[in-house]
Amino acid sequence: MMGFLRMVTPPASPPAKRSRRQRRVRANGDGFPVFLPKEVKDIKDPFARALAQRIVRIPVPLQMGNFKGCVMSSCIKPIVQQHDKSPVVLLHCFDSSCLEWRRTYPLLEQASLETWAIDVLGWGFSDLGKLPPCDAASKRHHLFELWKTYIKRPMILVGPSLGATVAVDFTATYPEAVDKLVLINANAYSEGTGALKDLPKSIAYAGVKLLKSFPLRLLANVLAFSSPLSENIDWTNIGRLHCQMPWWEDAMVDFMISGGYNVASHIKHINQKTLVVCSENDQIVSNQLSVKLLCELQNAVFREVPDSGHLPHVENPKQFVKLISDFASGKIN
């Protein structure tokens, strides 16, 4: 069970012009995109509610295995693109969504950083009614196609926990797409999904149903955050909102039996400037792994975020945004 846990209001501005299709999917009277699960209305966190209203789907071409087509991929897009600076692209943890960045995203915009928050293929709120493969290679290729189609410039790629593994895997394959890396409480040394990949599908589906359960998700939140119970309950609902998507169980089982990620051998080959971030009170990933990562990377610096647990971008967003801003501007080098 612990293996599961280890994988684990924006500034006023004129509204961005939306396409007819985007306007149709945003016809919900509560301001939420209609493709989000109805449970989004029960969320109390004002930052999550505000960011959820900005989620859009954009078409990303994908050809993997027997799948060929466009995936309507969920993300938060910047209001303005700044072609003279590297954009900041935010990934999320294992089995999460772009709502993980609810407290950080508005501050990054206020710091005048062009910021994207991307839902990794197989998680988040994309339209996967026709399910593509959701293994590591497909997640990597999907991110590259999104970058190639919309971002088009070397980016500052930010990944927390398993998102750091996704970032390392992507950078090792597509180094031309990455200017700098930020790896937060990185879970970069796990050896894939281990024995889970050999489970019969019926058992795998039972495990995935358990992973979706509220008690297990609440336990993960208690380990990740030192917050009052009422806040942890609401954050649990935010963290499992994407699990209500109709394709979620199939995508999770596909990822599980594919073997997951194994990127340890790639780390020493990464030469992009990298900021390794760890939290003072992380109860899920050992800080020793961040130190190990720092030693193996070719060009890395290290910073610790005080008074925060596994997700400093949720618990200590101002401190975290200052690190990102200073790293982007070259003040941290």
Q: 121-133: b or e for each residue (b if 16 or more CB lie within 10 Å)?
A: bbbbbbbbeeebb
Q: In what order do the strands lie in the sheet with 300-305?
A: 56-64, 67-76, 115-118, 88-90, 155-160, 178-184, 273-279, 300-305
pTM, full prediction: 0.90
pLDDT value of residue 8? 38
The whole-number average pLDDT for the span 19-42 is 74
First to last CA, the chain: 38
Instruction: Say which range, 22-31, 117-126, 204-213, has the weakest mean pLDDT.
Output: 22-31
3-state helix, strand, coil in the chain (%, to 5): 45, 15, 40
Nearest to 121 by CA among 309, 281, 288, 247: 247
pLDDT value of residue 81? 83
Could you tell me the pLDDT band of residue 82, with boundaries at 50, 70 and 90?
confident
Helices (H), 101-200: 105-110, 136-146, 162-173
pLDDT over 70, % of the chain:
91
Could you tell me the pLDDT band of residue 230, with boundaries at 50, 70 and 90?
confident
- The answer to whether residues 239 and 217 touch, using CB atoms and an 8 Å cutoff, is yes
Tokens, residue 89: 């692209």
Could you tell me the pLDDT band of residue 4, with boundaries at 50, 70 and 90?
very low
pLDDT value of residue 1? 40
Could you tell me the pLDDT band of residue 195, with boundaries at 50, 70 and 90?
confident
Tokens, residue 167: 């970032």
CA-CA distance, 206 to 51, in Å (whole number)? 32
Could you tell me the pLDDT band of residue 191, with boundaries at 50, 70 and 90?
confident
Catalytic residues: 161, 282, 310
Per the model's pLDDT, the better-predicted residue between 113 and 8 turns out to be 113
pLDDT value of residue 224? 81
Instruction: Tell me the C-alpha to C-alpha distance, in Å, between residue 177 and each of 55, 89, 143, 170, 330.
Output: 23, 11, 10, 9, 19
CA-CA distance, 115 to 324, in Å (whole number)? 11
Q: Which domains does the chain have, with CATH numbers?
A: 38-329 (3.40.50.1820)
The whole-number average pLDDT for the span 305-314 is 91
CA-CA distance, 167 to 314, in Å (whole number)? 19
The whole-number average pLDDT for the span 22-51 is 84
DSSP state of 189: S
The whole-number average pLDDT for the span 194-205 is 87
CA dihedral for 192, 196, 200, 202, sign (positive or negative): negative
**pLDDT tens-digit series, residues 313-325:** 999 999 999 999 9
pLDDT over 90, % of the chain:
76
Could you tell me the pLDDT band of residue 15, with boundaries at 50, 70 and 90?
very low
Per the model's pLDDT, the better-predicted residue between 1 and 117 turns out to be 117
Residue 226 pLDDT exceeds 90? no
Per the model's pLDDT, the better-predicted residue between 4 and 288 turns out to be 288
